[in-house]
């Protein structure tokens, strides 16, 4: 019986030992499960150009040395700086399709990674752009579109219909919804400008039967020519109630002409132009409303989207662009935002 007791005791000891013998005495940290990528390199970013060869983007405006396109250049350079891309901003001194084509040809020769164009004449430009695309270059249009087959996507500043109707509205407010008016457009063939004009006409026909479009004059984005055209319009149409400037050089030139003709307040001037160039005319009443978007923002967005597309992220609706906001995309058209109206009250807030 004592043997039995002894056995029992030793048995209990064994059980206690076994149960007390938890896995102990291991190092303080023992990995149970790891979710770290097995080796850091293979899970890395998709093949990007090495930093010593940044993306090169050629940006072609309709022309250079006018405030609007200068501002676009500023925005583009800002984006290039923040993204580490190289931006070559080159445009013809006057809005000339042939020169624009030559600049694009040069870019193709230089093997830039992307070309962003504000098209003067979509038709003439098309073969060159197709050629660029065949050379493996991403082609983007901004400010002024070309045909779809000529580019990957179009960065539009505003919705065309909205802008066209809105420009018509701003004139109608100021003329009391009646009277004759003329449009000072940029180039007769510029697709985007013509689209706006189409919607102005639609808006006028729909809501303003008492108003009448008497003439569309082209300025070719030349301030001098625009001034001359504005004076001519005032002379040709003595009962003119208003002028809509359809491109940025138009409204200042028209306001200047109105002011000089002593028609301040009688002929209303509205249209697309920069607040800085319009501020004096808005203040003295020779122009009523200037409408525009931020050209800097347009330049910035164009470059950012170009770089994104080169990285393999074509623009998508709802995409958040740093220092810009949310991008709206409809098909292959990116819409930057809504137009801003500048009046004498708020014009000082803007520095472009």
Partner 1 sequence: MISKLLQKLAFLRLRLSTKLMVTYILLTVVPMSILGYVSYWQYTKSIEEQIGEYMPRFLVQANANIKKHMDELSALPELLFNSESTVAILRRDVYQSRADLNRDQFEMNSFLTRTYLTSGNPDVIGVYLLSKNRVFESSKLSYSGLDWSRAFTYYGQDLKLRSNVKVILPRDIGLRFIDNVPYVMIMKQIEDVDNRKNLGMMFIAVRLNFISSVLRDLENSDQADMWLMTRQGQIIYHSNPAKIGMLDENISRYPILNGSFRTSSDEGQRLVSVNRSQELDWVLVHSVPLKKLTARTDFVRMATIFVFIGLVVVSIIMYSLFSQRVTRPLKRLNRLMKHVEMGKFNVDLKVESKDEIGALAGSFNSMVSTIRELIQKNYHIEIRQKEAELYALQSQINPHFMYNTLETISMAVEEDEKESVVEMVTLLGRMLRFSVNNKSKFVTIAEEVQHVRDYLTIQKFRFEDRLTFSIVNSLPPSAGETLYAAHFLLQPIVENAIKYGLEARKGVNIQITVSQEYSARTGKQDMVFRVRDNGPGITAERLEQLERTMREDAWAGKDASFGLSNVNARIGLLHGGDYGVQLHSIEGVGTEVSVRFPVLDAADVERIEKEGKQHEYNPDINR
Q: Site residues (CB under 8 A) for partner 1?
A: 3-4, 7-8, 11-12, 14-15, 18-19, 21, 23-24, 26, 28-36, 74-75, 78, 82, 293-294, 296-297, 300, 322-325, 340, 346, 349-352
> Measured from the CB of residue 256, what is the shortest distance to partner 1 in angstroms?
25
181 exposure class (CB count in 10 Å sphere: 0-12, 13-18, 19+): buried
Q: What is the dihedral of CA 55, 61, 63, 65, to 10 degrees?
A: -60
User: Distance between CA atoms of 158 and 112, rounded to whole angstroms?
Assistant: 28
CB of residue 10 vs partner 1: minimum separation in angstroms?
A: 9
Q: Which is nearer to partner 1, 206 or 348 (CB)?
A: 348
Q: At its nearest, how many Å lie between partner 1 and the CB of residue 321?
A: 9
Cβ-based nearer residue to partner 1, 174 or 276: 276
Task: Compare residues 11 and 235 and give the one whose CB is closer to partner 1.
Answer: 11
Distances (CA, A) of 9 to 1, 17, 21, 39: 12, 12, 18, 54
Nearer to partner 1 by Cβ, of 14 and 48: the residue is 14
244, β-bridge pairs = 183, 270
Question: How far apart are the C-alpha atoms of 165 and 314, rounded to whole Å?
Answer: 30
C-alpha dihedral (112, 132, 306, 53), degrees to nearest 10:
-20
Least CB distance from residue 250 to partner 1, whole Å? 21
Secondary structure of residue 247 in the 3-state scheme: coil
Instruction: Determine the Cα–Cα distance for residues 188 and 301; give it in Å rounded to an integer.
Output: 27
CB of residue 261 vs partner 1: minimum separation in angstroms?
32
Shortest reach from residue 77's CB to partner 1, in Å: 10
Q: Quick one: 7 or 188, whose CB is closer to partner 1? A: 7
Residue closer to partner 1 (CB basis): 33 or 93: 33
Q: What is the DSSP letter of 349?
A: G
Closer residue to partner 1 in complex, CB, 130/321: 321
Q: Decide if 76 contacts 303 (C-beta within 8 A).
A: yes
Distance (Å) of CA 21 to CA 17, 18, 25: 6, 5, 10
CA distances from 50 to 12, 45, 73, 172 (A): 70, 12, 25, 55
Give whichever of 67 and 223 is closer to partner 1, judged by the CB atom.
Answer: 67
Q: Which of 88, 295, 96 is nearest to 190 (CA)?
A: 96
For residue 222, the SS3 value is coil
Name the E strands within 200-276: 211-218, 240-245, 268-272
Residue where the block lists tokens 């870019």: 107
13 versus 330: smaller Cβ distance to partner 1? 13
Q: How far is the CB of 345 from partner 1 (least distance, A)?
A: 9
Closest approach, Cβ 37 to partner 1, in A, equals: 8
Question: Contact at 8 Å (CB) between 250 and 273?
Answer: yes
Least distance (Å) between residue 41 CB and partner 1:
16
């Amino acid at each position: 019986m004592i043997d039995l007791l002894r056995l029992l005791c030793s048995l209990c000891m064994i059980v206690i030992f076994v149960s007390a013998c938890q896995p102990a005495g291991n190092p303080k940290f023992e990995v149970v499960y790891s979710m770290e990528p097995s080796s850091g390199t293979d899970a890395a970013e998709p093949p990007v150009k090495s930093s010593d060869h940044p993306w090169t983007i050629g940006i072609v405006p309709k022309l250079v040395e006018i405030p609007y396109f200068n501002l676009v250049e500023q925005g583009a350079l800002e984006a290039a700086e923040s993204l580490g891309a190289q931006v070559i901003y080159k445009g013809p001194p006057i809005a000339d399709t042939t020169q624009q084509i030559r600049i694009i040809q040069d870019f193709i020769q230089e093997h830039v990674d992307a070309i962003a164009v504000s098209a003067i004449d979509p038709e003439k430009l098309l073969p060159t752009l197709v050629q660029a695309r065949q050379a493996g270059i991403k082609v983007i249009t901004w400010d002024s579109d070309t045909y779809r087959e000529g580019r990957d996507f179009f960065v539009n500043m505003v919705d065309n219909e909205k802008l066209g109707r809105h420009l018509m509205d701003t004139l109608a407010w100021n003329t009391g919804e009646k009277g004759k008016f003329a449009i000072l457009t940029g180039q007769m063939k510029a697709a985007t400008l013509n689209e706006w004009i189409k919607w102005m006409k639609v808006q006028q026909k729909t809501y303003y039967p008492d108003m009448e479009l008497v003439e569309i004059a082209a300025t070719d984005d030349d301030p001098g020519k625009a001034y001359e055209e504005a004076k001519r319009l005032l002379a040709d149409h003595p009962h003119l109630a208003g002028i809509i400037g359809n491109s940025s050089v138009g409204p200042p030139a028209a306001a200047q002409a109105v002011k000089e003709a002593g028609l301040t307040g009688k002929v209303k001037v509205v249209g697309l132009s920069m607040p800085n160039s319009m501020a004096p005319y808005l203040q003295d009443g020779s122009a009523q409303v200037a409408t525009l978007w931020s050209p800097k923002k347009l330049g910035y967005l164009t470059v950012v989207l170009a770089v994104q597309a080169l990285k393999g992220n074509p623009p998508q609706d709802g995409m958040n662009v740093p220092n810009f906001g949310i991008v709206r995309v409809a098909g292959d058209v990116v819409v930057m935002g809504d137009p801003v109206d500048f009046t004498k009250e708020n014009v000082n807030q803007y520095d472009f």
